[in-house]
Amino acid sequence: MTGNTTHAQEQDRQNLIGGARSHGRPVVALLTDTNLAVAQARNAARPDNLRVPTAAVEQQHSLLTAALPTLADEVDAVVHARDLPVLACSLLRLAEEDGDHEDLAEVRRVFGQAASLFEWNPADGGHRTRTFAAGGQEISVRWVDDGDPFDARFEARVPCATTPGCPGAAWTVVHSTADLARAHTGMPVDEVMCDCCDS
């Protein structure tokens, strides 16, 4: 059984939760705590036949906000949408779909459709860096070109592997979306070099 924002009212939630419990099923609340301004903007951008009155969005938002402090008592688990492994899933899915984008620019050549997850960052230490982002998670990638055309490469930012708690930026070479997914999930293919510890 699946509820949605129409279960913002506690009474409606209790009916759904009671139904699940009577069948001995666990109840999980998946929380997308979008702020009101974003929710209103998304509603405003919907087609005429799907858009709801702004007052309705406001009311749902205030009901859900009021429910948050005690939601954990109503259900077996509360999961924040931002904590779902959305980025890893996106990268893995894109890695599978990859392979037929050889003719495009360097980013697209290396990362295929995952290039659509890219955002430019401000200049960072002389390297061009970009961020892959999805679902509130992100991984930074930089283009390293020291003038040797055979050594130009993408590197993904990962935690330092040398010193526990090191605040330094550490990087690992990535050649594909699959490498990027491995780096994001803590299993980099290549060695990790830390700007602080390994230079």
Which positions touch Zn ion (CB under 5 A)?
160, 162-163, 166, 168, 194, 196-197
Pair 169, 157: CB distance under 8 Å: yes
Are 180 and 93 spatial neighbours (Cβ–Cβ below 8 Å)? Answer: no
CB nearer to Zn ion: pick between 133 and 197: 197
Burial of residue 83 (CB within 10 Å: 0-12, 13-18, 19+) is: exposed
What's the Rg (C-alpha) of the chain?
22
For residues 91 and 192, which CB has a smaller minimum distance to Zn ion in the complex?
A: 192
- 122 sits in the region (left: phi over 0; alpha: psi -120 to 50; else beta) called beta
**β-pairing, 192-194 with 118-120?**
unpaired
Half-sphere exposure of 161 (CA within 13 A, CB side): 12
Nearest distance in Å: CB 157, Zn ion: 12
Q: Which C-beta is closer to Zn ion: that of 147 or that of 167? A: 167
What are the structure tokens assigned to 16, written together?
A: 């759904």
Kindly tell me which of 112 and 188 has the beta carbon lying closer to Zn ion: 188
Q: Which is nearer to Zn ion, 149 or 167 (CB)?
A: 167
